[in-house]
Structure 1
Amino acid sequence: MSVPKRIKRYTGQYANVDGIPFKLPVAAEHSPALMAGFFCDYEKARALMPGSELHPMKYINGKAIFMVTVIDYRQTTIGKYIEYSLAIACTRGRKPAPPLLPALFMKSFRTGQFILDLPVSSEISVKGGKGIWGMPKHKASLDFIIGGQTVSSQYEKDGQFAFRIEIERPRSSNFPLRAGVVNYSHFRNMLMASYVYFDSKAGIRLGKRAKGNLYIGDHPRTKHLKELEIEGKPFFTLFMPEIHGILDDHFESWFVTYPGPPGGPGPEGLESVFNLGLNEDWLPAPSVTDYQKYKI
């Protein structure tokens, strides 16, 4: 998936949505990122998909794929912030796709990820990401630490440990990576699809060479993830020291349908964003140090 020509045509122009002014395109520069994939139970992952169009992507072992992606956005249109994505790799269509093929033919199967949780560092990122693109953003305490041997990121909410990811830092990150990613989310009881394009060099490790650790806390936003039976070791890890990313201004939204009248209050709606401001301040950095007891 390449960057659409229309994005290149409007580069340098400006927009203002919900009181958020920004220069186009909505882009990020000089921002490190990590990504890791973990196998999890397919049926339990499927139970988290809203409606009937999204399906977990199935690997050849019959498992679904739990994705962790953390980006330390250091230079963006709306300031600095960290974005912490917890998601299920998925396809979109009338029925589930065959194993593995969606990873090879992403456009045909509309392969992407369904975002389960998306904490970020700043209020303006919540207002823009949720209010415009329907992403399930909320403000939390986050960090992104690049060490000599590891790259790690911790997520806390209301002073409570929620999640932590650690991957072994690759010795080199010279593999050219250019990709388009579809992010699916559930907002206003609608499905939303947004598109992100990355151009970077990465250090990638696969199979037994992929090393990392996962920790899931008891916070209500993440505790239920333990029910996915996520395997504790990643089957791939990826580190990008510096990405160039563009968020598409075009996105899709459509109704979630049910065979009968849906019950319950449904997901968050516009009431969760219209009082938000443009604050770029961060919460204090994560401080929980006894996270080892939450290791998967």
Structure 2
Amino acid sequence: MSVPKRIKTYAGRYALVDDVPFTLPVQAKNTPAFMAGFFCNYDKAKQLLPGNELYPFKFANGKAVFMVTVVNYVNTNIGKYIEYSIALACTKGKKQAPAMLPALLMKRYGTGQFILDLPVSSDISVKGGKGIWGMPKHKASLDFKVTDNTVSAQYEKDGQFAFRIEIEKPKRIIFPINIGATNYGHFRNMLMQSYIYFKAKAGICLGKKAKGTLYIGDHPRTAFMRNLDIESKPFFTLFMPSANGILDDHFQCWFVTYKDKPDKVTPEGFESVINLGLGEDWLPAPAVTDYEKYRI
């Protein structure tokens, strides 16, 4: 999936949405990022997807895929911030897609990821990402650390440990990446679909060569994920030391429907962003060090 030509035609123009100013296109440059995929229970994953058209991506082993992607946006239209995506790989359609095939026919099956949680570093990222694109963003304490041997990121909320991921840093960064990704979110009780495009060189490890560790804390935003029967080792990891990304201005949304009349709407609405400012300040860095007891 390449960047649509229409995006290139408005380069250098400006937009103003909900008091958030953008120089177009909305993009990030020289951005480090890493990703890991873990197998988890398919039936339990399905229970977390809203509506009746999203299904977990089914791997050949019959399991679902739990995804963690952390991006250190060092140069964007709205300043610096970290974005910490915790998601389930999924498809969209009237019925469950065949196993594995949606990885090849992504457009046909609406292949993407449903975001379970999306903490970020700054208010302006929350206001724009949630209010415009429907991404379930909220502000939290985050870090992104790269050493000679590892890449890691930790997430805390209100002083409480929520999540941590560590992967072994790939020894070679040689694989060219030029892809588009689809994100689904649940906002205003609507299913929101947005798109992002990345170009970079990456280090990729598969199977037994992929090494990493998950830690899931007791915070309400993440504790429920421990019930997904997530396997302790990733089946793939990916690290991009310097990626360039473009967020599409086009998105879609649909009503989330129910068999019976719902009593109340649980997802957040505009009230969660309407009074947010455009601050770029970060909360203090994560400080919890006794996270080993939360290892998956």
TM norm. shorter chain > 0.5: yes
Match of 1:264 in 2: 264
2:73 corresponds to which residue? 73
Distance in 2 of aligned mates of 1:190 and 1:266: 11
CA RMSD of aligned residues (A): 0.6
Structure 2 match to 1:58: 58
Q: CA deviation at 1:65?
A: 0.1
1:213 aligns with 213
What's the secondary structure of 2:132's corresponding residue?
A: helix
User: How many angstroms does 1:269 deviate by?
Assistant: 0.6
Is the deviation greater in 261-270 or in 212-221?
261-270
2:14 alignment partner in structure 1: 14
CA deviations on 1:50-101 (whole Å, 9 max, x unpaired) are: 0001100000101000000000000000000000000000000000101111
- Any stretches of 5+ residues in structure 2 without a counterpart? none
With the length of structure 1 as denominator, give the TM-score of the two structures.
0.99
What is the distance in 2 between the residues matched to 1:113 and 1:164? 20
Distance in structure 1 (CA, Å) of the matches to 2:20 and 2:280: 12
Correspondences of 1:1-296 after superposition (within 5 Å): 1-296=1-296
Percent identity of paired positions between Structure 1 and Structure 2: 70
Offset of 1:104 from its aligned partner?
1.4
The alpha-carbon deviation at position 203 of structure 1 amounts to 0.2
- 8 A Cα contact 2:189 2:265, kept in partner: no
For these two proteins, the number of residue pairs brought into alignment is 296
Question: Match of 2:125, SS?
Answer: helix
The offset of 1:29, in angstroms, is: 0.4
Letter in 2 for 1:152: S
Aligned-partner Cα distance in 2 for 1:208–1:263: 47
Is 2:64–2:89's contact at 8 Å kept on the other side of the alignment?
Answer: yes
Cα deviation 1:196-241 (Å, max 9, x = unaligned): 0000100000000000000000001000000001001000000000
Moved over 4 A (4+): none
Whichever residue aligns with residue 151 of structure 1, its letter is: V
Query: What is the identity, as a one-letter code, of the residue corresponding to 2:118?
Result: L
Aligned amino acid, residue 101 of structure 2: L
CA distance in 2, matches of 1:290, 1:217: 11
* Superposition TM-score, scaled by structure 2 size: 0.99
Tell me the secondary structure at the aligned position of residue 90 of structure 2.
strand
TM-superposed CA distance for 1:156, in Å, is: 0.3
